[in-house]
Structure 1
């Protein structure tokens, strides 16, 4: 029974309701005086409260994807990828295989509605994977959307552009697929000819949950920026047919995920050349969820300034990237900072905006914006960019170690 499965949610809710009913039934019998009656009342209260809290915790975790597996919950997280090569006819024929991206359980993908249903050559496919960081040691859950063209023979030597879609904090990858509807939107726009075939990788902004790492390399702590700028591109390029040039790479996100997208593009234009941010912040600051992100000493202030995007645009060389930002005149606290950020943009950087008359910091607003943001992103990335080597004959998969999962290869 998976940690994020509906079955576990149902079991914990039924257990909580059962304990509540049992407490109501036995309470009159525990109304007597004496130590046993007092202990009985105390025990029923504690048991009922624990079952209710457990049910709430399970439902919140399933919604926000804090922990995807029981192993993550108890701290048994793998620090190195399994050495395994595996191929099947459809996956391995036109691509490469990598131990850095491994097949995972549903991770909530089974709860998402509206995903492509049918042959991959017609509707594409969404895969549930875990991505291992060679430099950082982080193991991050992800969904990967592959467009129909990825599986079509006429495209079998083409490398596709990539959008790294980043959720808000404390949300998880399920929010990108279910509530923001990233893969559904991409598929709809592709069918209408408004969006070029693109691989979309859906990830969360933290690499060390429950800490909010804000895509920052923390001195003496998690190296989130390194994961997004080195580990993630390396893993994807080794596993999927995706572009190797920065002009094929962009980042998109909402809330803190949008902040990450902007940070990644402005700080690493040699990796990401486009960013779309919905309801983002334009500087990174410490709070209760982040802890100390910039360390201490003389360099701490400088590090924090360099993660203030308006400060960067005013004091450092402006990168050649394209950005889109979205906000609302009424209902969003970032409207003023958004205007200041746009005012600070100067060549060779270019910008676009989505400004709604009203809209709050929620998925109702972001779903209004995601179509236009996705379409804009598709126009920024190059495709076809380059070609792969001629496909090699299909080979039999190597033997896997006992208990290991098959590795995705394309």
Structure 2
């Protein structure tokens, strides 16, 4: 029974309805002394609350796709291995295997849980290929890459579920407003409940190494991806926006550009804030002092408290060759719908910076 499937939702709805109904029926029919009846009634109330909370949590998760599976929620799961003949993302028959990656029809992505050679991190990675990838006209050509970061505690699935990142790019391609690119969504919360803000934590997970070194090696090793920094960009929303701006500013040798959708630019993670030096080393505001040769698109909403303020505070730190661009919408809160609607312009902006297949 999948975490995002209908069977689980139907079961929880039934339990949420049955629990209070059973409570009403049993309330005055409980046997035993007064103390036992009181304890039983507390148990009935607790059962009603638990079933209601489970249903509410499941509905929230279905809407935001915070966790895509039980393995994702529990931080478990085995790696997928072997050479796999996968069905192409556009339904065009079989394709050659992509190492450990298997094709997921639901999200139309290739998914695996590889181990990062440099970081030691093992986590889920999803890869979406544009239809041009299997077009004979592009045979042998390599494609630019857009690395996608979710918020906290979002999963790699969110970009292809609630965010509809692949659909938005496909639509932009049909309108001639984007370039064909490989979308890569790695897991950034590699330990459940621990928000590292995409950083290497001393004595903890090396998430920055995972996202910059390992993902680059994994993607270029299994897919026809252009390896040069000029062909890679980062994009994220909320915490993922912080990650995109930070990693691009810290690693201009890995990324040409970054898009921050409703991100922030000063660390908030306890893992970082306990050390002022570590916080400075992972702060986009501080990293811009080195004048990295990257372009940044900073997007926010005037109705999303703090996002425009954060952008305004970052802009004075920008010095050539760094370039910053802003995209401010007048309405909308801190939610997926707002960020999803920003994607067409974000993809068009990236198309002006990333090369085409070559």
Q: Compute the TM-score of the two structures, normalised by the length of structure 2.
A: 0.88
**Do the aligned residues in 2 keep the contact of 1:261 with 1:277 (CA within 8 Å)?**
yes
**Which residue matches 2:51?**
51
Do residues 292 (structure 1) and 290 (structure 2) align?
no
Deviation at 1:129, TM superposition (A): 1.1
**Do the aligned residues in 2 keep the contact of 1:131 with 1:232 (CA within 8 Å)?**
no
**Which residue matches 2:111?**
129
**Do the aligned residues in 1 keep the contact of 2:66 with 2:153 (CA within 8 Å)?**
yes
Query: Relative CO higher for 1 or 2, CA cutoff 8 Å, sep ≥ 6?
Result: 1
**Which residue matches 2:169?**
186
Do residues 379 (structure 1) and 358 (structure 2) align?
no
Deviation at 1:53, TM superposition (A): 2.9
Residues of 1 paired with 2:154 and 2:294: CA distance? 27
Moved more, 36-45 or 259-268: 36-45
**Which residue matches 1:87?**
85
Q: Compute the TM-score of the two structures, normalised by the length of structure 1.
A: 0.77
Residues of 2 paired with 1:203 and 1:75: CA distance? 14
Deviation at 1:351, TM superposition (A): 2.1
Do residues 253 (structure 1) and 251 (structure 2) align?
no
**Which residue matches 1:97?**
98
- Partner of residue 280 from structure 2, selected from 305, 321, 326: 305
Residues of 2 paired with 1:243 and 1:169: CA distance? 29
Cα deviation digits, residues 23-57 of structure 1 (max 9, x gap):
11121213885454334323323333333333333
Residues of 2 paired with 1:90 and 1:104: CA distance? 8
**Which residue matches 1:211?**
194
Question: What are the equivalent positions in structure 2 for 1:10-409 lying under 5 Å apart?
Answer: 10-30=10-30, 33-74=33-74, 76-78=76-78, 81-87=79-85, 97-99=98-100, 102-103=101-102, 109=106, 126-135=108-117, 136-286=119-269, 291-293=270-272, 300-314=275-289, 317-329=290-302, 331-385=304-358
* Structure-2 change in CA distance of 1:13 and 1:90 (3 Å): closer
* Structure-2 change in CA distance of 1:166 and 1:226 (3 Å): same
**Do the aligned residues in 2 keep the contact of 1:177 with 1:183 (CA within 8 Å)?**
yes
Residues of 2 paired with 1:272 and 1:190: CA distance? 22
How many equivalent pairs are there? Answer: 354
Cα deviation digits, residues 45-92 of structure 1 (max 9, x gap):
3333333333333334444445443345555444xx454123358699
Do residues 7 (structure 1) and 21 (structure 2) align?
no
Gaps of 5+ in 1: 111-125, 386-410
* Structure-2 change in CA distance of 1:105 and 1:368 (3 Å): closer
* Structure-2 change in CA distance of 1:144 and 1:34 (3 Å): same
Cα deviation digits, residues 126-153 of structure 1 (max 9, x gap):
2151342323343333443211111111
Gaps of 5+ in 2: none
